[in-house]
Amino acid sequence: MADYYEVLGVERSANEDEIKRAYRKMSRKYHPDIAGPEFEDKFKEVNNAYQVLSDPDKKRMYDSGVDPNDPNAGGYGAGGFDMGDMGDIFGQFFGGAFGGASQGPVPRTQQGRDSLARVSIDLKTAVFGGTAHVKINTFGLCQQCGGSGSANGEQPVTCPDCGGRGVRQKVVRTMLGQMMTTAPCERCEGHGTIISNPCPACMGHGRVRTTREVGVTIPAGIADDARLRLANQGEVGEGGGPAGDLYIDIRIKADKRFTRDGDDLHCWVQIPMSWAVLGHDLDIDTFDGEETLSIPAGCQPEQTVMLKGLGVTRMRRGDERGDLIAHIGVHVPTKLSDEERDLIERFANSHDTDSQHIAQSSKPDGGSARKGFFGKLKDALS
């Protein structure tokens, strides 16, 4: 029995959220559209594991030692014998006369699989929303036959071997004697019909491998690593069947000016020490254009100044935005002329009268008795 916990890379004690996160990670890693067609079997294995572990009843059955995906295991999970399985067994030998599910032609039109793609956006698009474009390599509808699989619009003909039933009966010898069993028709592959003149473009499948560009609407305020679902934008199914869904994983590229923390934006601004002492208004770039940042007089290094409402749009409240927070850095000159040094020393002597009385503290502020700004500057230049 396959170890589904090992397939998803989780412990047996994993909860529903942990299983879901693990599935998303593994499905991105092994999806054939991303990892390559050689990983299709591994992708199916991941999906099978998630189908079992995400369903409470199937998970309970699996934890008790029975694999719900094993066709030979159904009905035996609790040690009993399910009469539905008895019907299936007799149905194999007697064509459903004992209540088993009757077999019939397999439809040519099948539902397409879901597809997965990634797109990278800049931080400004995440703030305001917008449109991104992604190229996907997937199955699309065959334009030459319109999905029918037949050339020149010809209709499939009834299979002469099975008479359109999709299955054939044959007599087999068993220890109980001769019995009748059914199996899919080899000539029509269970469809009941044969495409006499397949479309040369799709070879009768009704779909072809194609690369197309998809426009993705990015909602304002979207987070990094979010996943969007585009209904019916995945791969087209066999026989021109309905398309699956397309899932888009969003990656937000690093910005040179701002970092994001939730709905707030942060930037770092270096100012001369005179602006920190006297205060100053300066213009900075924001995603809304140039805005005035007012530095208060006596501004300290690493102090922050906030610009309200210039952050990231709040997804659940589109009319609200976070804030832009500027972290102030003070540039201290390392070389002074004799006249400049004399001015600094005179100011320090008159202003930092308590510079020799330092209070030691485990907190950044250090208490009320702190060495003044110019006292620190004087020490730095000594």
How many angstroms separate the CA atoms of 24 and 19, rounded?
A: 9
pLDDT of residue 36: 74
pLDDT of residue 86: 44
Q: What percent of the chain has pLDDT over 90?
A: 48
pLDDT of residue 118: 93
Is 145 known as a binding-site position?
A: yes
Residues of the chain with pLDDT under 70: 1, 33, 70-103, 174-177, 352-382
Is 299 known as a binding-site position?
A: no
How many angstroms separate the CA atoms of 103 and 179, rounded?
A: 17
pLDDT of residue 216: 95
Domains annotated on the chain, with CATH:
1-77 (1.10.287.110), 255-331 (2.60.260.20), 337-382 (no CATH)
The answer to whether residues 112 and 139 touch, using CB atoms and an 8 Å cutoff, is yes
pLDDT of residue 321: 95
pLDDT of residue 380: 45
- pTM of the predicted protein model: 0.63
Task: Classify residue 293 by its DSSP letter.
Answer: E
- Non-local (6+) Cβ contacts of 170 within 8 A are 180, 181, 182, 183
pLDDT of residue 60: 82
Q: Considering only CA atoms, which of 301, 308, 246 is closest in space to residue 277?
A: 301
Give the angle 305-306-307 at the CA atoms, nearest 5°: 130
Is 267 known as a binding-site position?
A: no
Q: For the beta carbon of residue 271, count every other beta carbon within 10 angstroms.
A: 17
Q: 167 is written with which tokens?
A: 């299955």
Residue for token digits 């609790």? 78
